Amino acid sequence: MKRLLIPTLALILAGCATSGEHMDQSRLAQLKPGVSTITDAESLLGKPQSVSRHADGTTTLGYGFSSVQTDGKSMIPVVGYFIGKGTTSSVEYTGLNFDKNGHYLNSTGYQHN
């Protein structure tokens, strides 16, 4: 019974947290500059996580994704430091820019792993 305690604890303590969704690049490619609208973007990509309206009348829709994963073995007291693999994280952000008439201009973004 004691032999199963540490592996069971490691599985229980393994952690993963995510927020948002990965940007589907094939859907993003369907947006046409000067033609597609904010409504088109929301239909293709879903509700944005943020909407920024700028003083010049332009709008940016923000879509983001983040993920943090922790190896459960790293949480075992004392030995976890030596046998665990630590934490990995991933962050993606895509901003869709629209002119003052609500027509798509371009996208900007970054990815950090």
Buried b or exposed e, range 72-106, using 16+ CB within 10 angstroms: bbbebeeebeeebeeeeeeebbbbbbbeeeeebbe
Q: List pLDDT tens digits, range 18-51.
A: 666 667 788 999 999 999 999 999 999 999 999 9
Total count of domains within the chain? 1
What is the domain extent for residue 96?
2-112
Q: What is the pTM of this model?
A: 0.65
Identify the pLDDT of residue 65: 81
Residue among 8, 9, 39, 44 at smallest CA distance from 27: 44
Q: What is the mean pLDDT of residues 95-104?
A: 97
Identify the pLDDT of residue 20: 67
Q: What is the overall mean pLDDT for the chain? A: 80
